[in-house]
Structure 1
Amino acid sequence: MSNQNTVTPGLAIFERLAPLGYPLIRITAGLMLMPHGAQKLFGWFGGYGLEATGQFFEGSLGMSPGILFALLAGLVEFFGGLALVLGLLTRPAALAVTFMLGVALTVHTANGFFWTDGGVEYPLLWALTAFGIFLRGGDRFSLDRRFGLPF
């Protein structure tokens, strides 16, 4: 005889809460990206704003034109993060974040693995998280689902 309920007795609460796990990851990822974009675009949260960030991108990272790359990174982080929070156009936003973090990985590769040394650990974690969100889409608790969008 097959037992359909595979949840350990007493742990049924986890089965009920499990559907909240994915939106928690998607929303948290978006919320954690947005301040980085706000730093680049608006100078908020101790950031330097678009012009100074562009100068850093060009002068220190060799990304020219720096202001364009700073603008693109800021837009992806801020508005892509917002899209993840809302679950609106989730897959395109997550793909843009994945791509942007892939570029960030190239900057951090020379510093090794550990984030404490400026390595790839942190951007790699976020790139993989964004890619996982891309694969799954907005899911149940999203505006994509609410509006019937295929994202």
Structure 2
Amino acid sequence: MLRFAFGAVMFTHGVPKALRTSHGSMADPMGGSINLIQNVMGLPFAPQLAFLVMLLETIGAIMLALGLWARPVAFLIALQMVGISYALGPTWPWIDRGIEFPVLMGFLALYIAVRGSGRFSMDQKLRLSI
């Protein structure tokens, strides 16, 4: 249930990027991701990296919810959460976009990456040892 719920939450962050629709207080989530990657983190190829983030948060989230290749997908999400936490800086406000949520989600993803997808997963049904 935890894996499914986590995948569903991640999916809600990916769909607005994919559809280029507003999400909460963000008018343009994909533009926000590009800005964060390019201007805050200073990384090159920001639009391409933002596209990969969108794929991870949509297709990867569905795979995580279903338990299909859950370990590698969860590991990639954990890496994404490390990047988000780094970009947001060492602030821990309970409001106004602190890093407590990406840190929590990062540890949840790391837990799934280490423990695997569980008994009720596509990995188990297909006998994948990923």
TM-score, normalised by the number of residues in structure 1: 0.74
Q: Deviations over 1:97-119 (max 9, x none)?
A: 01111111111124x11241422
Matches within 5 A, 1:2-151: 24-44=1-21, 46=23, 48=28, 50=30, 52-53=31-32, 55-57=34-36, 58-59=38-39, 61-110=41-90, 112-151=91-130
Q: How many residues align?
A: 126
Q: How far apart, CA to CA, are the structure 2 residues paired with 1:98 and 1:114?
A: 21
In structure 2, runs of 5+ residues without a counterpart are: none
Contact 2:92 / 2:100 at 8 angstroms: preserved in 1? yes
Q: How far apart, CA to CA, are the structure 2 residues paired with 1:115 and 1:108?
A: 13
Percent identical across equivalent pairs? 26
CA RMSD of superposed structures (Å): 1.9
- The structure-2 alpha-carbon separation of the partners of 1:73 and 1:114, relative to structure 1 and needing over 3 Å to count, comes to same
Name the stretch that deviates more: 101-110 or 141-150: 101-110
Larger relative CO (CA 8 A, sep 6+): 1 or 2?
2
How much has 1:63 moved relative to structure 2?
Answer: 3.2
Q: Deviations over 1:60-101 (max 9, x none)?
A: 553322201211211111122111110000101101101111
